[in-house]
Structure 1
Amino acid sequence: MGKKLLIAFLFVIVGCKGVSQEDKDLAQKEEVYPITKTEAEWRAELTDMEFYVLRKASTENAFTSDLLDNKEKGTYVCAACATPLFRSENKFNSGTGWPSFDQEIEGNIAYDVDYKIGYPRTEEHCATCGGHLGHVFNDGPRNTTGKRHCINGVALDFIPDGNP
């Protein structure tokens, strides 16, 4: 009985995350993006689902995006601010139910760490407006970058090549 109690106690101690040493200024620091709007302004400009995903960092249901099976050539842009994010030649079918890309348009995506499901994931944001796009994983095509940018389709608009 004593061994079990000791092991349980050790798990509790190891599992506790102390916050006394954290830098409170860093924890409260909020990123400032070139396009900044109030929540009311974003709500007025975006659909309910776009707002839910882009501004509240939610996830659309798998296999629901109109862009999932899009095979046209063009550019995928942020649905909130039209910043170019991905090119069609970098899109691939990951089988996950969300549009997936093996590389982004450099400089137009910002990254952060997300612990929402209990372990760290690399979260992607539009570098211009801060809109939540999805996450990037290291299980993409090995013959290219090895990355899988798993993106909410509702966070994107598609501009076919040849259209301004």
Structure 2
Amino acid sequence: PVLSSQVQQRISFFSRNFTYSLTHHNTMANKTEEEWRAVLSPEQFRILREKGTEIAGTGEYNHHFDKGVYRCAGCNVPLYISDTKFDSGCGWPAFFEAVPGRRVCVNIYKTRKKLIYGAFSLIYDLGAVGRQPDHSRGFERTEIICNNCGGHLGHVFKGEGYKTPTDERHCVNSISIKFEDKQEEKL
């Protein structure tokens, strides 16, 4: 499963002294590069799997404001609903919030002579969209990825002054998503 670095650090800390199991309901099988190339267009592969970026202003969904759901182009998981989309003027589709996602349960326990004598669980809500540090351009920014298949979506920026509930801009490549004309209650 795709886990944020914060979750990975906590699991790493506990794994030094405890045994743990990770329960994650991921229906997306890990695909090889060949399998991804077989199901994605060359441009989708470049962006979703190789972390590319569309040219600003060229994406299909930049000025698209129909009601519905935006899904991952790699695995079809719902990522954003149209009510969270706004016109940022940046040249890419912008959303202020992702769809809440699946929960991951980390069961941590201590054993002695094959007997469990201390256990607890940590539950994390991964959300549909994950975040991870990106230093690829010589400065730090935050990459956003599909938490189901790990596909690159774009980057998230905070504190830019947009009048949105989260003060965030999820700057998403149009090629990373596909639109479905359905309302959010179907999610």
TM range (shorter): 0.7 to 0.9
Q: Which residue of 1 aligns with 2:134?
A: 114
Q: Which residue of 2 aligns with 1:103?
A: 97
Q: Which residue of 1 aligns with 2:151?
A: 131
Structure 2 letter corresponding to 1:137: F
Q: Which residue of 2 aligns with 1:85?
A: 79
Matched, 1:94 2:88: yes
Structure 1 Cα separation of the partners of residues 163 and 178 of structure 2: 27
Q: Which runs of 5+ in 2 are unaligned?
A: 1-11, 13-23, 101-126
**How many correspondences in the alignment?**
134
Q: Which residue of 2 aligns with 1:144?
A: 165
Q: Which residue of 1 aligns with 2:59?
A: 65
Larger strand proportion of the pair? 2
Q: Deviations over 1:6-47 (max 9, x none)?
A: xxxxxxxxxxxxxxxxxxxx9xxxxx9933100000001001
Preserved CA contact (<8 Å) 1:113 1:121: yes
Structure 2 Cα separation of the partners of residues 101 and 45 of structure 1: 26
Preserved CA contact (<8 Å) 2:93 2:171: yes
Structure 1 Cα separation of the partners of residues 46 and 25 of structure 2: 19
Q: Which has the higher contact order (CA 8 A, sep 6+)?
A: 2
Structure 2 Cα separation of the partners of residues 136 and 53 of structure 1: 16
Q: What is the TM-score with the length of structure 2 in the denominator? A: 0.67
Matched, 1:157 2:151: no
Q: What is the TM-score with the length of structure 1 in the denominator? A: 0.76
Residue 69 (structure 1) shift = 1.1
Structure 2 Cα separation of the partners of residues 75 and 37 of structure 1: 25
Say if 1:69 and 1:38 are closer, same or farther in 2 by CA, change over 3 A: same
Larger Rg: 1
> RMSD over aligned Cα, in angstroms?
2.1
Preserved CA contact (<8 Å) 2:96 2:164: no
Structure 2 letter corresponding to 1:132: H
Say if 1:132 and 1:33 are closer, same or farther in 2 by CA, change over 3 A: farther
